[in-house]
A and B are shown apart, each in its own frame.
Chain A
Amino acid sequence: MTIQIKYTAQLKKAAGTSEEIIDIPAEENLKQLLQRLARHHSPRFAEMLFNEQGQFLNTTVLVLNDQQVRLEDKVGLKENDQLLLLSPIAGG
């Protein structure tokens, strides 16, 4: 199935793109998709998503079709979903 991925801020910089469209197996879940993205992009990008033990870092806000989702909720994916990986930002 086709999923549209968007990135913001530091994740956008680490990915080298603001968005991409990828095809994944129909049974792939959100965590598997994030692992796929980590493998596909730079080590810097991977470090921003997962720690050395492979645990997802709860510093990126995951947004599926305008709704925040959490990895522990075991959210499923469907054709043409839009996934936004929101990198944490602050003031100054």
Chain B
Amino acid sequence: MSGLTEKEKAVYEWQLSVPGFGEAGQEKLKKASVLISRCGGLGSVVAYELAAAGIGTLVLAHGGNVKPSDLNRQLLMTDAWLGKSRVASAERRLKELNPRLEIKAFDENINEQNAEKIVSEADIIVDCAPLFEERYLMNREAVAQQKPMVDCAMYELEAQITTIVPGQTACLSCLYPQTPTAWKRQFPVFGAVSGTVGCLGAMEAIKLITGLGEPLLNKLFIMDLRDMSFQNIRIERKQDCPVCHKRH
């Protein structure tokens, strides 16, 4: 017997016929929870695509209020919501699209005090945070709690993505053993670039949850939309990684 309602079958009709997906895949999405931190240019699009696809629960972590400079890329924020909570704006827009969606909203960014708790709320993490401190915390908790993490990043017209599965793949600390000192909180980017890699991140999450296709395991996919060059790079675990080596 199907775990989908007639309304759900109608809404997801176009993806239910995707080979290898079907009602079984849709039911897996319905039962799954995904943490997205933050819901900015990247995370907004990841959240919107997962909401549209019928994910059961989204855990959103994003502090602060909507600023004018958010609006070129943070598609869950609106001009009318300037000065008000970003995560509340995200929740509002996502519920408009999919009222069946359950949302656990945290009006704060990932930090040392909340990382373990917030990560524990989800089956999968999609890392969309701008600061490496936040990204390393999510990576640490992903490894400790043995949860997959899709890692998305962007800069100017460039973007990259990889999927981390603890015990199987390189983790974020394998890729960047030292905190990048050159990275700045504010950087040049178009919303169309964050949206592109956000869609890829949502698709990676869907693949992880449903078993569809092949996720980017031990592969770093990079792109430069300036000249439309794309490259798949083989990456490896660091044998002495202090985060993932001793645990697995």
Alpha-carbon distance between A67 and B232 when the two chains are bound, in angstroms: 9
Q: Is the CB of A88 within 8 A of B182?
A: yes
- Residue with the greatest number of chain B CB neighbours at <10 A, chosen from A18, A47, A59, A89: A89
Give min CB distance, B30 to chain A, whole Å.
27
CB of A87 within 8 Å of the partner chain: yes
Number of residues from A at the complex interface, CB < 8 A: 23
What residue of chain B has the Cβ atom nearest to residue A92's Cβ? B130
The answer to whether residues A61 and B175 also contact, given A8-B158, A92-B40 and a CB cut-off of 8 A, is yes
B178 near A59 with CB under 8 A, answer: yes
B143-198 CB contacts (< 8 Å) to partner A: 152-156, 158-160, 175-183, 185-187, 189, 194
Contact among B178, B182, B194, B222 with A58 in the assembled complex (CB-CB below 8 Å) = B178
- A91 contacts B179, CB within 8 Å? no
* Residues from chain B with Cβ under 8 Å of A18 in the complex: 224
User: Contacts A66-B231, A67-B234, A68-B233: A59 and B38 contacting too (C-beta < 8 A)?
Assistant: no
Chain A residues within an 8 Å CB radius of B41:
91-92
Contact of B154 among A48, A58, A59, A89 (CB under 8 A): A89
Q: Could you list 7 further interchain pairs (A-B, Cβ under 8 angstroms) beyond the known A70-B238, A92-B41?
A: A58-B177, A87-B155, A87-B182, A88-B180, A88-B182, A90-B130, A92-B194
Q: Using a CB–CB distance below 8 Å, which chain A residues touch chain B?
A: 8-10, 18, 47-48, 57-59, 61, 63, 66-68, 70, 84, 86-92
